[in-house]
Amino acid sequence: MSSSQILPPSHESVQELAKELKLGVPQRYIQQHREPTFVCDHSSPLPSIPVIDMNHLNHTDKDPLIHLRSVCKEWGIFQLVNHGVDKSLIKKMKEEVVNFFNMPVEEKLRYKLTAGEYQGYGQTILHSEDQKVDWADRFYMITNPLHRRKSNLLPEFPPVLRDTMESYLQEMQKLAMYLFGLIGEAVEIEKQEMMDVFDDGMQSVRMTFYPPCPQPDQVIGLTPHSDAAGITILLQVNDVEGLQVKKDGVWIPVSFLPDALVVNVGDILEIMSNGVYNSIEHRATVNATKERISLAMFFNPKLEADVGPAKSLIANTRDPPMYKTLVMEHKNSPLIAESFHALFSILEKGLLRQLTVEAFQLAIDPVTATGCSRCSPLLTADRPQAPPRADCRQPLRLRHYAAGRRPP
């Protein structure tokens, strides 16, 4: 089966399933090899993700930018405080997301994901019959450019949710553009280049409901992945935690500060920064007794933009580009159609980054470039015989490519 094939959804709602569980969690949700979470003790306290205060970023001196650069490099994620987004808007947005998931299932199914689609209300997008399903219901949609909005999604939302979301999207877009400017400047990408790439860019939203689960250690709310985005801004809607990030090989729970927004670096920013920044791998666990709800917004380049190491950074630093440049979307190219799809698939860990790195690797050394017909549309096109590799999704492999070395 090709990796691009999308199967019909497995069932209608995990939220409903969780209410009716009698005989334990069905097998298709059970994930045996979940990597353990960091356990803290006296000698090793729980590390916490860095905090960036926007009041400090607003000053003109260089120190905050040096700090921002080091946070995006060492972590690739931070909590943003004093972000200036109207508190009452955030409160209203949270209430409306809760109201959405509280609607009767029949109402939510008006927005249902259909086979072959990745926008709408549903669960894990299935690429194979034996694929495990995350313990969560999700609603995903593209919100910009406007002509890419689906007429049966946002426009058909209950009016208060729709209007609140419109205001929230606008505020978040302004915030994202401000952050893009600074995050770019911190790594010597000229502001104009960031604006050219991200202004009026592809924007999308995911609302997620993680129902309580009687076997929380046996399921996963959100499979580990990095975002194929520029940046993601995450709002934790209720006070239940579950987000974890992988830092130095260890899964660390994220404790949300009140009123903070969590910002993470995605694959596109890692590529644009020529590998300086870290597209952080993350996952979500679920709670035994309480549901968890989150709202993620993804900010991407405009569809006609090139994605590669930023030209101004390469000119300023004179470092060799570590990734090849690919256009975000090209109507005539099946390769790019695949990578475009990957932008919205949370299943393919770092696929966009992998594509650009593999393209680079192929260009410099086609013999040692390894890959797999399962995870790499690029290699599928160029080397149809490439066999599936058990380790094809190891982020470490990508780091080795990025460093120009052979993967282990």
Ligand X SMILES: O=C(O)CCC(=O)C(=O)O
* Contacts to ligand X by CB under 6 A: 206, 208, 222, 227, 234, 243, 282, 284, 294, 296, 346
Sheet holding 282-284, edge to edge: 222-225, 282-284, 243-247, 250-253
Residue in the shown chain whose Cβ atom is closest to ligand X: 294
CB of 193 to ligand X, least distance (A): 26
Backbone phi, psi, residue 398, to 5°: -65, -40
Cβ proximity to ligand X, 108 vs 282, nearer residue:
282
CB of 293 to ligand X, least distance (A): 8
Nearer to ligand X, 144 or 208 (CB): 208
- Cβ-based nearer residue to ligand X, 250 or 327: 250
Of the pair 92, 138, the CB lying nearest ligand X is at: 138
Question: Which of 222, 362 has the CB closer to ligand X?
Answer: 222
Q: How far is the CB of 243 from ligand X (least distance, A)?
A: 4
Closer to ligand X by CB, 228 or 336: give it: 228
Could you tell me the smallest distance in angstroms from the CB atom of residue 125 to ligand X? Answer: 13
Torsion angle of the four alpha carbons 101, 104, 108, 110, in this order, in degrees rounded to the nearest 10: -170
Least separation in angstroms between CB 75 and ligand X? 15
Q: Which of 344, 349, 329 is nearest to 394 (CA)?
A: 349
- State the Cα–Cα distance between residues 146 and 31, nearest whole angstrom: 38
CB of 218 to ligand X, least distance (A): 19
Query: In terms of CB distance, is 108 or 225 closer to ligand X?
Result: 225
Shortest spacing between CB 225 and ligand X, in angstroms: 7
